[in-house]
């Protein structure tokens, strides 16, 4: 009996040890944030900014409208002017008082106040801001301030724990934590920033605040959220710190940010588009339009080319090209590798400077009469001489209506089809009959691409003929 009791006790002890080991292992899976936050919080600041009176604001939308575009539901009206106060966060990057935050926090403001964790307040002056990346640099008159340590974004991995400190809804130094859920995200109208996506709880007021890794290093600036309600829904986006510091350095040195440009309008290369151009793999940036007398046009790059490398750096996606070109120094000589009419070419060009405001107004599409149809489901019409003159076109045919295959490819009435590419060979269209001859040559299961002008923009659209009739 004693022997049996000893065995039972031993088994109980063993089970208890296993249970304790499992609990300890599970505890180790969750990091300890308290010491980290205690050390980092002094370098994080609260920012409040009083907007300029409406009469002094410029542009169609003021900074507060931009704030509500990013963080509030579309159906919710902005506050009355007398209640307006832009609240955000920031962090100190140097002991003599330089601070990083978001441009939309302090844009079009009359007075900026920075409050530290010890409740001291300073009037801040704006050193400069860059709307394209949503970065602003502030300066307060103070010395021996606590500052953050910068991290290496390249070492940040999807699944890593990260911590945000900021002032959501004005609650100073609020701490939230989560993981990196994706890297290199491209958002609409934000093609210069490869965002870090996290599930950290970010809300209005977190803008401009730091995103830390578990070493206590800043890896990003919390900038945007994806939300249908204006509150946190599990998708937050931070500007990588290397992008922010690059902007910071230029703003401190010159007060502005200089970027390169080559004068192309690009789009993503889908599998069907790659097949139509005879390109192995959906990669690179497809040139859908060229600016007249731009560096790209002068170098011999043409509409329909696929840019695969820039200065030796591969272009896996069209979203990568603007960032890589933007980092090039204006006036520098660069080499561009393009896929042109089924041939790999290297062309040299001189990088130009990206202007501060290069947004062009868009013209509405025109109504055109149709005269025929084709096997793609397109009702087409020729362009008159007057229509060509106004649109500055030498050729092209107008789409009156799109059905079936064409409608599924998102073609629509008012579009103008300029050219088609099949098996890497491009044809410019000057009549409906010419287009129909081109269409009749397309075999079942084959992909083609059409260069389509819509308003003032143009892009390639792919169509794949079904295998079965």
CA gap 382, 431 in Å, rounded: 6
Q: Which of 104, 272, 334, 449 is catalytic?
A: 104
Q: Which run of H or of E encompasses 417? A: strand 416-422
422 in the Ramachandran plot: left (φ > 0), alpha (ψ -120 to 50) or beta?
beta
Torsion of CA 222, 228, 231, 235, to 10 degrees: -40
- Within 10 Å of residue 99's Cβ, how many Cβ atoms? 28
Q: Which of 63, 86, 207, 276 is catalytic?
A: 207
**Residue 104 known to be catalytic:** yes
Long-range contacts of 288-292 (CB under 8 A, 24+ apart): 288/451, 288/458, 288/459, 288/460, 289/264, 289/265, 289/457, 289/458, 289/459, 290/263, 290/264, 290/265, 291/263, 291/264, 291/265
Nearest to 46, CA basis, from 126, 114, 106: 114
**Residue 134 known to be catalytic:** yes
**Residue 207 known to be catalytic:** yes
Q: Which of 62, 130, 134, 172 is catalytic?
A: 134
CA gap 172, 166 in Å, rounded: 6
What are 458's strand-pairing partners?
453
CA gap 456, 289 in Å, rounded: 10
**CA atoms within 13 A of residue 464's CA, in its CB half-sphere:** 11
Burial class from Cβ neighbours inside 10 Å (0-12, 13-18, 19+) for residue 18 reads exposed
End-to-end CA separation in angstroms for the chain: 84
Sorted by sequence, the CB contacts under 8 Å of residue 84 that are 6+ apart come out as 50, 51, 64, 78
Residues marked active site are found at 104, 134, 207
């Amino acid at each position: 009996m004693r022997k049996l009791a000893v065995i039972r006790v031993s088994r109980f002890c063993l089970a208890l040890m296993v249970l304790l080991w499992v609990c300890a292992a599970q505890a180790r899976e969750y990091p300890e944030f308290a010491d980290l936050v205690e050390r980092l919080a002094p370098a994080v600041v609260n920012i409040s900014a009083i907007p300029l009176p409406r009469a002094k604001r410029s542009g169609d939308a003021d900074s507060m409208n931009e704030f509500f575009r990013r963080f509030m539901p579309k159906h919710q009206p902005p506050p009355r002017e007398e209640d307006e106060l832009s609240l955000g966060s920031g962090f100190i990057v140097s002991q003599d008082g330089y601070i990083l935050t978001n441009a939309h926090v302090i844009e079009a403001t009359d007075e900026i106040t920075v409050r530290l964790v010890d409740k001291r307040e300073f009037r801040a002056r704006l050193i400069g801001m860059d709307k394209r990346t949503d970065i602003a640099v502030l300066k307060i008159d103070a010395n021996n301030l606590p500052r953050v340590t910068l991290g290496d974004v390249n070492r940040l991995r999807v699944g890593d724990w990260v911590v945000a400190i900021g002032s959501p809804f004005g609650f100073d130094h609020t701490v939230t934590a989560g993981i990196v859920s994706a890297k290199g995200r491209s958002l609409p109208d934000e093609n210069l920033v490869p965002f870090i996506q996290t599930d950290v709880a970010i809300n209005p007021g977190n803008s401009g605040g730091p995103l830390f890794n578990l070493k206590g290093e800043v890896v990003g600036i919390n900038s945007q959220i994806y939300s249908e309600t204006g509150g946190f829904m599990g998708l937050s986006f931070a500007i990588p710190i290397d992008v922010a510091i690059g902007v910071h350095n230029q703003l401190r040195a010159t007060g502005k940010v200089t970027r390169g440009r080559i004068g192309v309008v690009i789009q993503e290369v889908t599998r069907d588009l790659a097949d139509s151009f005879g390109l192995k793999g959906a990669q690179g940036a497809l040139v859908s339009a060229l600016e007249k007398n731009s560096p790209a046009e002068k170098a011999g790059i043409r509409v329909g080319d696929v840019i695969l490398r820039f200065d030796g750096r591969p272009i896996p996606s069209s979203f990568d090209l603007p960032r890589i070109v933007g980092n090039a120094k204006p006036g520098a000589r660069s080499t561009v590798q393009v896929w042109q009419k089924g041939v790999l070419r290297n062309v040299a060009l001189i990088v130009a400077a990206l202007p501060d405001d290069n947004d062009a107004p868009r013209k509405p599409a025109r109504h055109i009469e149709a005269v025929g149809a084709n096997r793609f489901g397109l009702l087409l019409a020729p362009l008159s001489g007057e229509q060509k003159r106004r649109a500055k076109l030498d050729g092209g045919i107008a789409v009156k209506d799109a059905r079936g295959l064409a409608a599924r490819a998102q073609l629509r009435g008012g579009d103008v089809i300029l050219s088609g590419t099949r098996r890497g060979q491009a044809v410019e269209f000057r009549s409906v009959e010419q287009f129909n001859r081109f269409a009749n040559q397309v075999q079942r299961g084959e992909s083609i691409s059409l260069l389509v002008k819509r308003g003032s923009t143009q892009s390639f659209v792919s169509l794949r003929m079904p295998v079965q009739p």
